[in-house]
Structure 1
Amino acid sequence: MITHSNPSIKKQVYDRISYLGTVSKADLLNHFPLTSSSMTRLLEEMTTQGLIVVSGLGHSTGGRKPILFQTNPTYRYLFGLEISRIYSVLGLYDMHLNTLSLTRWKMDAEMTPHQLVNNVTVAAKQFLHEHGLSPEDVLGIGIGAVGPLDQRQGLILEPELFPSSAWRHVPICTMLEERLGIPAKLDNGANTALIGEHWALRSETIEHALYVHSGVNIRSAAMSGGRILRGAADTEGAIGQMIIQANGPRLRNKGNYGALEAFVSVPALEERVRTQLKIGRSSILSGMAPELVNFSTLVDALRKDDALVKEQFTETAAYLGIGLANLINALHPEYVILGGPLISAHPLVFDATLEIAKKNTYHYPEYSPVFTQGLLTDEAVATGAAVMMMQSWNRD
């Protein structure tokens, strides 16, 4: 029988309360091999420390109404940071992962690592001041970034297609720890997005999930048994190298021929539309120099129901559906979460992707995963980075 003196039991009980939201002592005793008296002492200890609070009384099953506990949302606070190719996001969260403050920056050629760290430092200090907090009130900052990464060393290695060429071998954790005076933890953004969405969907008790981010490139993360699947290398962008057309094109003369990213990515979409405009296809963009066409102008044209742009987005979604079906057939997830600028550009992208994915999923509809854009959408990476930081925190 485990007693509350076990150095890891407090963390396990805290994590269980945090995951379930509101629990009684009986709920916890059903999950942990503790005696009733040991659990009572542990809950009293955690309440005295301010880790948890009494949140009310539950329903009676014949005797006294049970006391309900939840984690204390104001015990400490967390920062979550997304570092992406298009924009970066910083959020301040309480221990219930409520967003207290949020800001974002466009990742242009001037946004070097040092400039972003400066921006994060200023914004973080402003957030703390606005909420009457000090760095001692913060557990740390979780970072979800474009890979490849050296997670253990806290390094962003050699990501492709950043507007600034300075993003090479960046010791991002050390830089932020020195400036903010709090711990930092790094993981790739697809993983933190899935961690965040899994947290937000925890009432669904999801064990197996797939997350796919479609933007400047294609990134993915998978979960089995409630845990992120990690391979021998950080290869979040490897899905983009899935070959879907033998002898097909390459994106910017790199990677595999016929790879998914050559059909499903912001640069590929931009290039296809520019080509169509150059050969004289009619569009509301026809008066614009093709080289000035970018993703922002394409999204605007799509929302105005431009036929050419709609056709190209639909084609992009169809190829994404094919790649998605390949992943589903290999991993068999319960939940499939789609995110990124291409998915959020317009509902037709999500709908068309699902239509093709379902048609190519083996044993569909007998096997039918839930498809969703998630609950956190554009905040998934930053929120998930904060969740990652919280889950790594030692409560003892």
Structure 2
Amino acid sequence: MGKPTNGSSASIKKAVVERIAQKDDISKAELMAEFSLTSSSLTRLLEELTTEGWILESGFGQSTGGRRPILYRINPAHRYIFGLEISRIYSTLGLFDLGMNAIQYKRWTMDETMTPNRLTAYVQEQMDDMLQIRGIPRDLVAGIGIGAVGPLNRDTGMILNPLYFPAEGWSNVPLCEWMEERTGIPALLENGANAALVGEHWAYRGENLQHMLYVHVGTGLRSAMMSGGQLVYGAVDTEGSIGQMVIQIDGPRLNGTGNYGALEAFASVQALEQQARSQVKMGRMELAETGAADPEALHFPLLVKALHEGSPHMKELFSQSATYLGIGLGNLINILHPEKVILGGALINADDHYFDTAAATAQKHIYYASEYQPEFSKGILQEHAVALGAAVLVLKKMVI
């Protein structure tokens, strides 16, 4: 983190609180090295934050020859933040304290009944239950961060026209407005891939990573990039554009839409389901091998079950999918040059071999591979990355 040299006292105060939240314990000298404040100004600021309850004195550090320095840490109970993931397969609500420690999670399936109205009502119920169980007053909740499938408009808090939700009604949903009306708590909206990357960046904060790539491989493909420790935004919300990367010019289209030969037609849950159904219909795979009653009932959970039970056909399908994903990853890495590549989503979590194959394939396609090799990871937070990342975004926007 570079030294802030200007900005209002409020913005510096906020930056100091955020920095203290990132550390278990931090001394005044460490803060002096990161912020352009005089010793007396920083002393007054730390006293003010302590009096207001944002931070606590947590003990004394090691002496470097003089008096042992006072250590500071965030006061976790001063505020609380909710983080919500809205995805096509699962959604997750998390409650976090000000240190971004998870207090409670609730995860549920997104089926054909989970319309926007039902989801907002359900989330309100879960929020109320969490606060009641923990004895947390509502006025201590700073906000709810939402990481959702795009495309969306972050400024208006609206989900626009996402594809492949099991339930109807997910076009042009003023999600933040609805959540605020139901809960009385300010809401912030970000696309899910960005929120996941922010969450994992927070989890890896001790490594001081500046350049990270996150790719979610589920019903569709989504990606996010961070450079210089900051999210990279385009002119429009484009988290799903990675799925339209052409890797075979004369290849198929997924559901008759998008580019021919796009990555999502080879490496996505939907692509796998379609390929498995085709294998059965052409007689290349026995239906009994999957446990489905008919080819159209072949959905992802059955494919994963057959894979884990040793189906050779399923192993081949998953391996091919992972190889194609690796080719797409190699293309992205050659353009973006991240330090760390985090892979998440239902396909990545279905089987360790999928992750290993995708990473190995990507590494083979990296230019200057002998001099540059990013680290591949499933992340620290994994299925909780979006919810925590959404909460971190509220922390970064919070008025101190």
**TM-score band, normalised by shorter chain:** over 0.9
Match of 1:334 among 339, 351, 362: 339
Cα distance per residue 1:128-153 (max 9 Å; x no partner): 00000122010000000000101100
- Cα deviation for residue 212 of structure 1 reads 0.1
Q: Is the 8 A contact 1:4 1:41 kept in 2?
A: no
CA distance in 2, matches of 1:259, 1:227: 28
CA distance in 2, matches of 1:18, 1:4: 20
Match of 2:206 among 203, 208, 220: 203
Cα distance per residue 1:196-230 (max 9 Å; x no partner): 00000000000000000000000000000000000
Q: Is the 8 A contact 1:196 1:380 kept in 2?
A: yes
What one-letter code is carried by the residue in structure 2 that aligns with 1:354?
A
Match of 2:260 among 257, 262, 286: 257
Corresponding residue number in structure 2 for 1:394 = 399
CA distance in 2, matches of 1:16, 1:38: 17
Q: Is the 8 A contact 1:4 1:38 kept in 2?
A: no
1:142 pairs with 2:145: yes
Q: Is the 8 A contact 1:80 1:142 kept in 2?
A: yes
CA distance in 2, matches of 1:281, 1:367: 41
- Cα deviation for residue 282 of structure 1 reads 4.0
What one-letter code is carried by the residue in structure 1 that aligns with 2:114?
M
- Cα deviation for residue 365 of structure 1 reads 3.3
Corresponding residue number in structure 2 for 1:46 = 49
Relative distance call for 1:272 and 1:392 in structure 2 (3 A) is: same
Q: Is the 8 A contact 2:88 2:164 kept in 1?
A: yes
Corresponding residue number in structure 1 for 2:22 = 19
Task: Percent identity, please.
Answer: 53
1:304 pairs with 2:309: yes
Q: TM-score, length-normalised on structure 1?
A: 0.97
Corresponding residue number in structure 1 for 2:11 = 8
- Cα deviation for residue 326 of structure 1 reads 0.4
Q: Is the 8 A contact 2:150 2:159 kept in 1?
A: yes
Cα distance per residue 1:258-278 (max 9 Å; x no partner): 000000111100111111112
What one-letter code is carried by the residue in structure 2 that aligns with 1:43?
L
Q: Is the 8 A contact 1:274 1:293 kept in 2?
A: yes
Match of 1:91 among 91, 94, 112: 94
Cα distance per residue 1:263-298 (max 9 Å; x no partner): 011110011111111222345227741111110001
CA distance in 2, matches of 1:174, 1:287: 42
Corresponding residue number in structure 1 for 2:283 = 280
Relative distance call for 1:358 and 1:5 in structure 2 (3 A) is: closer
Alignment of 1:243-392 (within 5 A): 243-283=246-286, 284-285=289-290, 288-392=293-397
* Secondary structure, aligned partner of 1:8: helix
What one-letter code is carried by the residue in structure 2 that aligns with 1:240?
G
Q: Is the 8 A contact 2:22 2:99 kept in 1?
A: no
Cα distance per residue 1:148-175 (max 9 Å; x no partner): 1011000000000111120010000000
Cα distance per residue 1:336-357 (max 9 Å; x no partner): 0000000000000000001100
1:165 pairs with 2:168: yes
- Cα deviation for residue 105 of structure 1 reads 2.0
What one-letter code is carried by the residue in structure 2 that aligns with 1:365?
S
CA distance in 1, matches of 2:213, 2:67: 43
Alignment of 1:18-167 (within 5 A): 18-167=21-170
What one-letter code is carried by the residue in structure 2 that aligns with 1:130?
I
- Structure 1 segments, 4+ long, off by >3 Å, are 1-5
What one-letter code is carried by the residue in structure 1 that aligns with 2:111?
D
Match of 1:228 among 224, 227, 231: 231
Mark the runs of 5 or more structure 2 residues left unpaired by the alignment. Answer: none
- Cα deviation for residue 3 of structure 1 reads 10
CA distance in 2, matches of 1:49, 1:333: 40
